[in-house]
């Protein structure tokens, strides 16, 4: 087996993975390195037997792609969330964004685009990406994605057990609290990602 072809196959897998976030097929490797498919297949089998590559549910991977994948997490970016009065917003996945696991930590996450200026004193501006940890509970003072009366908003969670109400507090001195009897918590804000 030629070392040159082995190196070409490895680097083509890594380059493709960086661009597409998946591994290439045998046909795609064949096209990229201009070697017949049957030859690529033979080399891939040899490389797997030698421990140079691994076949996973994501396809053919090298040590480099496996390591890069374990250090990152794919987070769906869904529509926008109003930072203002309660608004109806359709949630749908617009794209997936890879984030380092050191930023997210453990758990399930999604990204929302902030819309409006009710959270500016908490450092959340219109257009910022807000990293939300998917959970249905929160502590007093957490910034939450709250669903109330079929509408959602991003606010500071301040339940008042005495009055049996939940205050959704905007972080903007010019705005008033939203007081509701009941909400569904759809997640807790953990990080803000700003455009420069």
Domains of the chain: 3-70 (1.10.10.10), 72-193 (2.10.109.10)
Query: How many residues in total does the chain contain?
Result: 196
Query: Which pLDDT score is estimated for 139?
Result: 96
Convert the pLDDT of each residue in 21-49 to its tens digit: 778 999 999 999 999 999 999 989 999 99
**pTM, to two decimals:** 0.65
Is-catalytic flag, 118?
Answer: yes
Which one is catalytic: 155, 163, 191, 195? 155
DSSP assignment string, the chain:
--HHHHHHHHHHHHHHHHHHSSPPPHHHHHHHHT--HHHHHHHHHHHHHTTSSEEETTEEE-HHHHHHHHTEEEEEEEEEEESSS-B-----EEEEEEEEHHHH-SS-EEEEEEESSTTGGGT--TT-EEEEE--S---TT-EEEEEETTEEEEEEEEEETTTTEEEEE-S-TTSPPEEES--EEEEEEEEEE---
Q: Give 92-135 pLDDT, tens digit per residue.
A: 677 778 788 778 888 889 999 888 888 999 999 988 999 999 99
- Of the residues 115, 118, 173, 195, only one is catalytic, namely 118
The answer to whether residue 86 scores a pLDDT higher than 80 is no
Residues 27, 31, 36: CA angle, nearest 5 degrees: 70
**pLDDT for residue 19:** 78
Encoded tokens for 186:
């759809």
Of all residues in the chain, what percent carry a pLDDT higher than 70? 91
């Amino acid at each position: 087996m030629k070392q040159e072809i082995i190196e070409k196959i490895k680097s083509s897998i890594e380059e493709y993975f960086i661009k597409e976030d998946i591994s290439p097929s045998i046909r795609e490797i064949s096209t990229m390195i201009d070697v017949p498919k049957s030859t690529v297949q033979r080399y891939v089998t040899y490389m797997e037997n030698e421990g140079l590559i691994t076949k996973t549910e994501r396809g053919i991977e090298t040590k480099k792609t496996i390591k890069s994948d374990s250090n990152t997490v794919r987070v769906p970016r869904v529509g926008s969330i109003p930072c203002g009065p309660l608004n109806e917003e359709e949630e749908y996945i617009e794209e997936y964004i890879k984030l380092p696991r050191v930023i997210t930590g453990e758990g399930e996450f999604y990204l929302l685009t902030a819309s409006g200026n009710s959270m500016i004193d908490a450092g959340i501006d219109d257009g910022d990406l807000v990293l939300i940890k998917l959970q249905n509970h929160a502590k007093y003072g957490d910034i939450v994605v709250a669903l109330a009366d079929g509408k959602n908003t991003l606010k500071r969670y301040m339940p008042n057990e005495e009055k049996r109400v939940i205050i959704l507090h905007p972080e903007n001195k010019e705005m008033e609290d939203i007081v509701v009897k009941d909400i569904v918590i759809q997640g807790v804000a953990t990080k803000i990602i700003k455009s420069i």
